[in-house]
Structure 1
Amino acid sequence: MAISTSAPNNTKTHDGSPSGAPLARSRPSRIHRQRLRAAWLCLIPMLLVLAAVAGWPLVRTIWFSFTDASFSNISEYGWVGLENYLVYDDGAWYGVLADPTWWQSVWNTLFFTVVSVGAETVLGLIIALTLNAQFRGRGLIRAATLIPWAVPTIVSAKMWGWMLHDQFGIINDVLMTLGIIAEPLNWTANADLSMWAVIMVDVWKTTPFMALLTLAALQMLPSDCYEAAKVDGIHPVRVFFKVTLPLILPALMVAIIFRVLDALRVFDVIYVLTSNSEDTMSMSVYARQQLVQFQDVGYGSAASTVLFLIIALLTITYLYLGRKQIGGES
């Protein structure tokens, strides 16, 4: 009688373990749990501090927006619901969303954001491309370029406020010496010039930030593409639009979104230069005016909450679109 014997299966998988043996998952899962535990141990203190510093004031601001609280007696207030946001009473609309000054501040903020961030992006890209080239003294020029960004915003705004002064400002003196203007201009009080003066100061202050992030992206580009383009005799302008710009676009978009979020909540440079002028009033200046100057905590909290919701919505939208793009590429 023939007895058939089966030889043991000694084939091995690509990782060296026998094909018939169960995969050892205990060690990777244990390492993964240890890493996850270490990550949470590092994150928990930061989350607690963030909840205490930012979370509690935010919740308290949202709560006050539904009340009639005021600084005269902050401990005594009543619930008013959505009256601080929008309410129809006696044939008219009242609240933040019905205030023409609020919508003027929204328009001022959007105009400031689009123009300033657009100018900073273009100028930052030009400066980054210049600093990325090889020339003598490049390190010194790079350091000097960062000086405006290193100056505190309050200091730079106050400095520019003196230079733009209509009586003894150096800007008017230089322009009159060159024959560009015939008489001094009141840059920060003139309704036609004040917003452009604020934008000019912000562009001077923040363009180095855009240049720094763009320069970091340029430093990471591979040199093979440029060597091949040079051998093929491709024009540098075409190389920029076909090679350089698409490669640095992700980093450039990160820099732009950071600047957009920062510009939407702009306060210091506008308040120092033009105070509460409606011609340049931003949403943050409007909220501060209601809270501090008018002592209306409920109304000012409602304005601050609307500003927070606008910025949060833009942030969530950007993160969602970025996630969809990454998922589509993968």
Structure 2
Amino acid sequence: MSAQTSIDTKTPTDRDDTPQKTKKTKRSARTRAEARLGWMLAGPAFGIMLLVTMYPIIQAFYDSLFSLRLTAPDDREFIWFRNYAVVLTDPAFWESMWITLFITVVTVILELLLGFALALVMHRAAKKLRGLARTAILVPYGIVTVVAAFAWFYAFDVNSGFVNSWLAWIPGYNDELNWFAYQGTSLFVIILSEVWKTTPFISLLLLSGLAQVPGDLEEAAKVDGATGWEVMRRVILPNMKAAIMVAVLFRTLEAFRIFDNIYVMTAGANGTEALSLLAYNTSIGRLEIGLGSAISVLLFLSVLIIAAIFIRGFKVDLTGGRNS
């Protein structure tokens, strides 16, 4: 009788605790097992990549602590963080920073909009045309960046280019316009070449996100009377949040390190010198290895800050593709 009484005194909540704890324990064990398997599969490659990438970073930070010129490599002086003080108080650094931010923001916004439109085209194209559409759209991304930069440079060049002759029909247009003689027009061509080259990368990532959107949710929203914009805003975009975050993050980090297009087209002239080109010109052009290394380290820290802001801002669970 006492045994029966002790059993009956348990509340429903108490009786449900054991199964819930068991499920949580099993789920936790499964998660740990998957994490171990993931590290076993990706660990060797991750370790090699870490070694390859960390050495130049550590070397750059080490060199940034010295007053070092390439013409006198043995005549070095340990000056702590004086190079960083020189760089951070130099107006040229902040001008390059703003140019880099401007190019990054404009290119990423344009690429996101155009990439999403191209992803929709590839996603909703007829099955027979999907392969052709994807191949055609991805062609620019397969071209080497330096080759693409030279192609755009010669297209807009005042002597050998054909753009001026194509635009000569516009009233008031100067068919002898030197696009690379002014900051505004130079940045326009640089951004245009960047958008043309890397929009396919964005569209490919967004296409994978579109493939994860449940079709039944779209159909249910349309049956309920939702408009196309409402379906896009309430169904498609929320389910693509992880893909959008990955696309924007990767592209922002790459755009922030832009070098090839600017080097080929203007070499940093007319106020188009980005941070990566400033580091190159300081290290190789002026032979100031210490100052150039300091700029490189600041560029690396800027990339880390941008990545942290994006990851915290989007609040996306990348392991499951769900909002956290």
TM exceeds 0.5? yes
- Hey, what does 1:125 align to over in structure 2? 116
Partner SS state of residue 166, structure 1: coil
Structure 1 residues 44-53 or 267-276, which shifts more? 44-53
Residue 230 of structure 1 deviates from its aligned partner by 3.1
Partner SS state of residue 185, structure 1: coil
Please tell me whether residue 166 in structure 1 is matched to residue 165 in structure 2.
no
Please tell me whether residue 228 in structure 1 is matched to residue 247 in structure 2.
no
Partner SS state of residue 275, structure 1: coil
- Hey, what does 1:218 align to over in structure 2? 210
Once residues 312 and 178 of structure 2 are traced to their aligned partners in structure 1, the CA distance between those partners, rounded to angstroms, is 44
What TM-score comes out, normalization by structure 2 length? 0.82
Q: Report 1:247-258 matches (<5 A).
A: 247-258=239-250
Deviations 1:143-191 (A, max 9, x none): 1000111111111001101101112211111111455723222112222
The code of the aligned residue for 1:63 comes to: Y
- Hey, what does 1:90 align to over in structure 2? none
Aligned length: 300
Q: 1:30 to 1:322 in 2, by over 3 A?
A: closer
- Hey, what does 1:296 align to over in structure 2? 288
Residue 210 of structure 1 deviates from its aligned partner by 1.1
The code of the aligned residue for 2:81 comes to: L
Larger-Rg structure: 1
Q: 1:184 to 1:291 in 2, by over 3 A?
A: same
The code of the aligned residue for 1:236 comes to: G
Partner SS state of residue 76, structure 1: strand
Partner SS state of residue 69, structure 1: strand
Aligned-pair RMSD on alpha carbons?
A: 3.0
Q: 1:32 to 1:253 in 2, by over 3 A?
A: closer
Once residues 119 and 47 of structure 1 are traced to their aligned partners in structure 2, the CA distance between those partners, rounded to angstroms, is 32
Deviations 1:86-125 (A, max 9, x none): 1xxxxxxxx1011111111000000001111001111111
Q: 1:34 to 1:208 in 2, by over 3 A?
A: closer
The code of the aligned residue for 1:165 comes to: D
Q: 1:219 to 1:32 in 2, by over 3 A?
A: closer
- Hey, what does 2:94 align to over in structure 1? 103
Q: Write 1 or 2 for the structure with the bigger share of helix.
A: 2
- Hey, what does 1:15 align to over in structure 2? none
- Hey, what does 2:236 align to over in structure 1? 244
Residue 45 of structure 1 deviates from its aligned partner by 3.6
- Hey, what does 1:280 align to over in structure 2? 272
Please tell me whether residue 149 in structure 1 is matched to residue 149 in structure 2.
no
Once residues 222 and 35 of structure 1 are traced to their aligned partners in structure 2, the CA distance between those partners, rounded to angstroms, is 25
The code of the aligned residue for 1:185 comes to: L
The code of the aligned residue for 2:271 comes to: D
Residue 233 of structure 1 deviates from its aligned partner by 3.7
The code of the aligned residue for 2:285 comes to: Q
The code of the aligned residue for 2:49 comes to: L
**Structure 2: segments with no counterpart, 5+ residues:** 4-17
Structure 1 residues 234-243 or 98-107, which shifts more? 234-243
Alpha carbons 2:242, 2:316 under 8 Å: kept: no
- Hey, what does 1:263 align to over in structure 2? 255
Q: 1:244 to 1:189 in 2, by over 3 A?
A: same
The code of the aligned residue for 2:241 comes to: L
Q: 1:189 to 1:311 in 2, by over 3 A?
A: same
Residue 51 of structure 1 deviates from its aligned partner by 4.1
**Structure 1: segments with no counterpart, 5+ residues:** 7-18, 87-94
Residue 40 of structure 1 deviates from its aligned partner by 5.3
Q: 1:187 to 1:226 in 2, by over 3 A?
A: same
Q: 1:80 to 1:203 in 2, by over 3 A?
A: same
